[in-house]
Amino acid sequence: MLMSEKYHIVTYGCQMNVHESEKIAGILRRMHYEESATIEDADIIVFNTCCIRENAENHAFGNIGALKKLKKQNPNLLIAVGGCMTQEKGKTETLKKKFPFIDIMFGALNFEELETLINRKKRQKKKVVEIRDEAGEIVETIEPYRTSYPNAWVNITYGCDNFCSYCIVPYVRGRERSRKPERILAEVKMLVEQGYKEITLLGQNVNSYGKDGTTGMNFAQLLDAVASIEGKFRVRFMTSHPKDFTEEVVAVMEKHPKICRLVHLPVQSGSNRILQLMNRRYTREKYLDEIKALKTRLPEAEVTTDIIVGFPTETEEDYLQTEALVKEVDFASAFTFVYSPRQGTKAATMEGQIPEEVQKDRIMRLVELVNALTRKKSERYVGKEVEILCEDYDEKKGTYLGRDEFGRMGYFHSDTNRVGEFVTLKITKANGISLFGEPTENAAKS
């Protein structure tokens, strides 16, 4: 009998990409490939790349380059590169020159064709390069091979129409398309029946779901329908864009305790002048009003965010407005980024690019501020009880771990396997952003 060939997938970028890698794994398994324990044992290595910032690209370049040796040792090894980076104008030419040993290049908009491309490569010596400039119909026939139990990601929209002036996503992911509600609801029902306990609805801007007029439902209505599915599970959604985050969504959250009281609402900057240059289409005041409306209905709600520092022309004054906003909102946590010019975007050609030292200084100050706020919040947990969804076992620490509805990580000891269970922890210690606790049923026994 022939031994099965093995695959290894390397993923960069956002959750959207992580989920797409699960779909790529689905395609490879349908072709009878098996997962490889190590990259060295693989017969096919797939890179699912990201190009949101320069360092994401450099990271992939480094890792692809390192494969030259493996390819020499095993000339039958197939190397495929796909994702957002190959979708960039002219990038496949750069990749061809830098890494002539790549066998297959495909894009974020046609990864569904991977099986055909692999089969074509097996018939020909020449490398296979197939990139599409526009997305076709949404493909519903791929069964993802999920590796994130008890969490499951479910796409609701693809692409983005917002064209924030710094962002490359609309260029590499195409126009916004919404999935049909009956498809989404059927997928969530099936996942809940299979025992998944946390469903995250994914889109670049979930609030614009259905804006293309093809679904007969807006995001609030979809969220309501998803949370109305029976069973004990959590619902999350990301990302919300502040220009479209509505009270209707907050009202649906209020109606369903299943929906986590955590909203990821990227603010990007606290300065109205910069927000306008970023083409974000909201003001600092509108953002703060939305937070107020959320917390009025749901006082326990928490907000996380994304922030960019060092955007073209950003002054110290603009930066300090971001700091002030961070303090005022008191975010549960924040992802902070140094602005990275992306070719083809409007901001890349703006005058007033900020020197690296200034960017570095601002990011360091912001990270310190954000960490201090997060730490303080963690300390407030000590002595309280929180329900976490146990996700995994940490071999190094010898503890189980999971997240509460606000995304905070909780660690605990258990003699039995608790992965996939909701566990109530009495928090005994907070360390930075991590919490340590004891399951309340243990405490009751002793």
- Rounded distance between C-alpha atoms, residue 36 and residue 110, angstroms: 24
Angle CA(152)–CA(156)–CA(160) in degrees, nearest 5?
125
Say which residue the tokens 């060939």 belong to. 5
Selected from 48, 49, 218, 239, the binder of ligand SAH by CB under 6 A is 239
Tell me the one-letter amino acid at 340: S
Beta bridge partners of 431: 434
Q: With binding defined as CB under 6 A, does residue 24 bind ligand SAH? A: no
Report whether 115 contacts 27 (CB < 8 A): yes
Say which residue the tokens 């002030």 belong to. 324
Q: Which is nearer to ligand SAH, 343 or 414 (CB)?
A: 343
Q: Which is nearer to ligand F3S, 56 or 425 (CB)?
A: 56
Exposure string over 16-54, b if 16+ CB within 10 A, otherwise e: bbbbbbbbbbbbbbeeebeebeeeeebbbbbbbbbbbbe
Q: Is the dihedral of CA 242, 245, 247, 251 positive or negative?
A: negative
Q: With binding defined as CB under 6 A, does residue 51 bind ligand F3S? A: yes
Q: With binding defined as CB under 6 A, does residue 202 bind ligand SAH? A: no
Q: With binding defined as CB under 6 A, does residue 218 bind ligand SAH? A: no
DSSP H helix total and E strand total for the chain: 14, 19
Tell me the one-letter amino acid at 13: G
Report what 163 binds from ligand F3S, ligand SF4, ligand SAH, none; CB cut-off 5-8 Å by kind.
Answer: ligand SF4
- Rounded distance between C-alpha atoms, residue 347 and residue 395, angstroms: 44
- Rounded distance between C-alpha atoms, residue 50 and residue 86, angstroms: 9
Per-residue x/- track, 338-377, ligand SAH (CB under 6 A): -xx-x-----------------------------------
Smallest gap from residue 111 Cβ to ligand F3S (A) = 12
Q: With binding defined as CB under 6 A, does residue 14 bind ligand F3S? A: yes
Report what 51 binds from ligand F3S, ligand SAH, ligand SF4, none; CB cut-off 5-8 Å by kind.
Answer: ligand F3S
Query: How many amino acids of this chain bind ligand SAH (CB under 6 A)?
Result: 17
Smallest gap from residue 351 Cβ to ligand SAH (A) = 17
Report what 13 binds from ligand F3S, ligand SAH, ligand SF4, none; CB cut-off 5-8 Å by kind.
Answer: ligand F3S
Instruction: Quote the DSSP letter at residue 81.
Output: E
Q: Where are the beta strands (DSSP E) in 97-213?
A: 104-106, 128-130, 151-155, 157-158, 177-178, 198-202
Cβ atoms within 10 Å, residue 393: 14
Which residues contact ligand SF4 (rule: CB under 6 A)? 160, 162-164, 167, 169-170, 204-205, 241
Q: Which is nearer to ligand SAH, 239 or 374 (CB)?
A: 239
Q: With binding defined as CB under 6 A, does residue 161 bind ligand SAH? A: no
Selected from 21, 86, 204, 322, the binder of ligand SAH by CB under 6 A is 204
Q: Which residue is nearest to ligand F3S (CB)?
A: 13
Q: With binding defined as CB under 6 A, does residue 179 bind ligand SAH? A: no
Calculate helix-pair angle for 15-30, 114-123, nearest 10 degrees: 50
Q: Is the dihedral of CA 312, 318, 322, 325 positive or negative?
A: negative
Q: With binding defined as CB under 6 A, does residue 81 bind ligand F3S? A: no
Report what 208 binds from ligand F3S, ligand SAH, ligand SF4, none; CB cut-off 5-8 Å by kind.
Answer: none
Q: Which is nearer to ligand F3S, 18 or 142 (CB)?
A: 18
- Rounded distance between C-alpha atoms, residue 171 and residue 139, angstroms: 20
Report what 170 binds from ligand SAH, ligand F3S, ligand SF4, none; CB cut-off 5-8 Å by kind.
Answer: ligand SF4
Q: With binding defined as CB under 6 A, does residue 157 bind ligand SAH? A: no
Query: How many amino acids of this chain bind ligand F3S (CB under 6 A)?
Result: 11
Q: Which stretch binds ligand F3S (CB under 6 A): 169-177, 255-263, 271-279, 301-309?
A: 169-177
- Reported as type and span, the H/E element at residue 378 is helix 356-379
Q: With binding defined as CB under 6 A, does residue 250 bind ligand F3S? A: no
**Phi, psi at 50, each rounded to 5°:** -135, 150
Q: Which stretch binds ligand SAH (CB under 6 A): 121-129, 166-174, 208-216, 433-441?
A: 166-174
- Rounded distance between C-alpha atoms, residue 390 and residue 225, angstroms: 26
| Closest C-alpha among 305, 306, 318, 307 to residue 352 | 318
Q: Give the 3-state secondary structure of residue 405.
A: coil
Report what 342 binds from ligand SF4, ligand F3S, ligand SAH, none; CB cut-off 5-8 Å by kind.
Answer: ligand SAH
249 to 268, contacts with ligand SAH by CB under 6 A? 266, 268
Report what 84 binds from ligand F3S, ligand SAH, ligand SF4, none; CB cut-off 5-8 Å by kind.
Answer: ligand F3S
Binding site for ligand F3S (CB under 6 A): 13-14, 16-17, 50-52, 84, 169, 172-173
